Structure 1
Amino acid sequence: MITCIATDMDGTLLNENQEISEANKQAILDAQRQGIEVIVATGRSYEEARFVIKDAGISCDIICANGAEVRDKKGEVVYQAGIESALAKEIATALNETGIYFEIYTDQGTYTENYEMGIELIVDIFKTANPDVSEEQVRQTAKERFEKGHIKLVDDYGVLFDDSSQLVYKFLVFSFDEKQLTEANEKLNDIIGIAISSSGKENIEVNSLEAQKGVALEKLLNDKGLSAEHAMAMGDNLNDLSMMKAVGRPVAMGNALDQIKEFCPFITATNREDGVAKAIQEALQQTANS
Structure 2
Amino acid sequence: MVKLVALDIDGTLLNRNGQISGRTLRAVAGLRRAGVEFTLCTGRNLPLVREFAQSMAITLPIAICNGGEVRGVNGEVLERRSIPIELAKEAYRILVKHEALFDIYWNDRILIESKPKHLQRLIDYYRAIKNIDNEYEALLEQEIEAPYMFETHDISAWMDSGEPAAIEKFFVMEHRPERLEAMYDELKKVPGLNVFTSHHTTLEINHVTADKGAGLARIAEAYGVAAEEVAAIGDGMNDVPMFAYAGISVAMGNASDEVKRHARFVTGTNAEDGLAQTLEQWL
TM-score, normalised to structure 2, is 0.89
Corresponding residue for residue 112 of structure 2: 112
Q: Which amino acid aligns with 1:247?
A: A
Corresponding residue for residue 8 of structure 2: 8
Mapped contact 1:6–1:40 kept (Cα < 8 A): yes
Gaps of 5+ in 2: none
Mapped contact 1:102–1:172 kept (Cα < 8 A): yes
Corresponding residue for residue 243 of structure 1: 242
Matches of residues 242-261 of structure 1 in structure 2 within 5 Å? Answer: 242-261=241-260
Count residues in correspondence.
Answer: 279
- Displacement of 1:26 in angstroms is 2.0
- Displacement of 1:274 in angstroms is 1.8
Distance (Å, rounded) in 2 between the aligned partners of 1:232 and 1:136: 40
Question: What percent identity do the matched residue pairs reach?
Answer: 30
Matches of residues 222-233 of structure 1 in structure 2 within 5 Å? Answer: 222-233=221-232
Alignment of 1:17 with 2:17, yes or no, is yes
- Displacement of 1:100 in angstroms is 1.6
- Displacement of 1:53 in angstroms is 3.2
Matches of residues 1-290 of structure 1 in structure 2 within 5 Å? Answer: 1-54=1-54, 56-60=55-59, 61-115=61-115, 117=118, 138-162=136-160, 163-164=162-163, 167-282=166-281, 284-285=282-283
Distance (Å, rounded) in 2 between the aligned partners of 1:120 and 1:231: 40
Distance (Å, rounded) in 2 between the aligned partners of 1:187 and 1:194: 11
Q: Which amino acid aligns with 2:245?
A: A
- Displacement of 1:119 in angstroms is 7.0
Residues 135/33 of structure 1: CA separation in 2 closer, same or farther (3 Å cut):
farther
Corresponding residue for residue 288 of structure 1: none
Residues 203/73 of structure 1: CA separation in 2 closer, same or farther (3 Å cut):
same
Distance (Å, rounded) in 2 between the aligned partners of 1:30 and 1:70: 26
List per-residue Cα deviations over 1:71-110 (Å, max 9, x = no partner): 2223322111111011011111122222222210012411
Mapped contact 2:14–2:20 kept (Cα < 8 A): yes
Aligned-CA RMSD value: 2.4
Q: Which amino acid aligns with 1:66?
A: N
Residues 22/153 of structure 1: CA separation in 2 closer, same or farther (3 Å cut):
same
> Which sits farther off after the overlay, 107-116 or 78-87?
107-116
Q: Which amino acid aligns with 1:226?
A: V
Residues 231/120 of structure 1: CA separation in 2 closer, same or farther (3 Å cut):
farther
Distance (Å, rounded) in 2 between the aligned partners of 1:139 and 1:30: 38
- Displacement of 1:33 in angstroms is 2.5
Q: Which amino acid aligns with 1:144?
A: Q
TM-score, normalised to structure 1, is 0.87
Mapped contact 2:47–2:108 kept (Cα < 8 A): no
Mapped contact 1:69–1:80 kept (Cα < 8 A): yes
